Amino acid sequence: MRIILIGPPGSGKGTQAKRIVDKLNIPHISSGDMLREAVSNETPLGKEVKSYMTKGALVPDNLVIKMMVERIGQPDARSGFLLDGFPRTLTQSEALDKALLTTNVRIDYVLLIKVPDEEIIERNTGRRIDLKTGQIYHLKFDPPPAEIASRVIQRDDDLEETVKYRLEKYHADTEPLIPYYEKQDLVRKVSGVGSLEEVKERLFKILVVS
């Protein structure tokens, strides 16, 4: 099964991606992880990517697409894969489709995890991390024990202005993918509101796994 997973930042996408790939025994292909790995392994593409990253510039779509096609062509992805963090824009979606045509591979599902903006903001801004242990808490849903409450901090990524900016980017850049894939009858929408287990069951129901 070949899947693209889409959802706003803080929707639980990463957690659910792991559950899906574990259940289906397919590779989890994250564009960010792949870029870092290519740079670390000093592959020819990795060296090109590094030249952009060291300048603080965005890696061009054509390079990311090349890496994606190269990764999808590896033996462990022959029976399926889950794409996470890619495509992020309509341009990337169109380029990916063209590239996949040459490899005779077709996407089966585009899974969309839907969570209202106000809940995303609450989830993210309420998070706190204990720098001593790395444990993450939430002021409302999973408060830190009283004895360590004074040492937990809020990460910059979880500041309200940062969360709102990331949501704006998601709505502007990634949401246009939804009608694009809806025209191909690939989109399956799932509510991301509720427990992790409830969301997992909704996703598994679509994928017809138990």
Catalytic site residue from 78, 155, 169, 205: 155
Residue 126 inside a domain? The answer is no
Q: Which SS3 state, helix, strand or coil, does residue 79 take?
A: coil
Question: Per-residue pLDDT tens for 139-195?
Answer: 998 999 999 999 999 999 899 999 999 999 999 999 999 999 999 999 999 999 999
Residue 163 inside a domain? The answer is no
Question: Per-residue pLDDT tens for 85-118?
Answer: 899 899 899 988 988 888 888 999 999 999 999 9
pLDDT band at 210 (very low <50, low <70, confident <90, very high): very low
At residue 48, the pLDDT reads: 85
Active site residue 19: no
Q: In this structure, what CATH number is given to the domain that contains residue 106? A: 3.40.50.300
At residue 209, the pLDDT reads: 63
Active site residue 155: yes
Active site residue 71: no
At residue 57, the pLDDT reads: 73
Number of H helices, E strands in the chain: 9, 8
Q: In sequence order, what are the residues at sequence separation of 6 or more whose Cβ sits closer than 8 angstroms to the Cβ of residue 9?
A: 120, 124, 163, 166, 167, 170
With both helix axes pointing from N to C terminus, report the angle between 61-72 and 31-41 in degrees, rounded to the nearest 10: 90
The half-sphere exposure of 106 on its side-chain side, counting CA atoms within 13 A, is: 4
Catalytic site residue from 123, 127, 128, 200: 127
Q: Which SS3 state, helix, strand or coil, does residue 82 take?
A: strand
Residue 144 inside a domain? The answer is no
Give, as one character, the DSSP assignment of residue 171: I
Give, as one character, the DSSP assignment of residue 86: -
Residue 124 inside a domain? The answer is no
CB 195 within 8 A of CB 12: no
Active site residue 128: no
Active site residue 188: no
Catalytic site residue from 88, 164, 188, 189: 88
Q: How many domains are there within the chain?
A: 1
The kind and range of the H/E element at 49 are: helix 44-53
Six-digit token string for 31: 């564009």
For 27, the domain range is: 2-115+168-207
The chain-wide mean pLDDT, for the chain, equals 91
Residue 181 inside a domain? The answer is yes
Residue 52 inside a domain? The answer is yes
Residue 130 inside a domain? The answer is no
At residue 130, the pLDDT reads: 94
CA distance from start to end of the chain:
15
Residue 109 inside a domain? The answer is yes
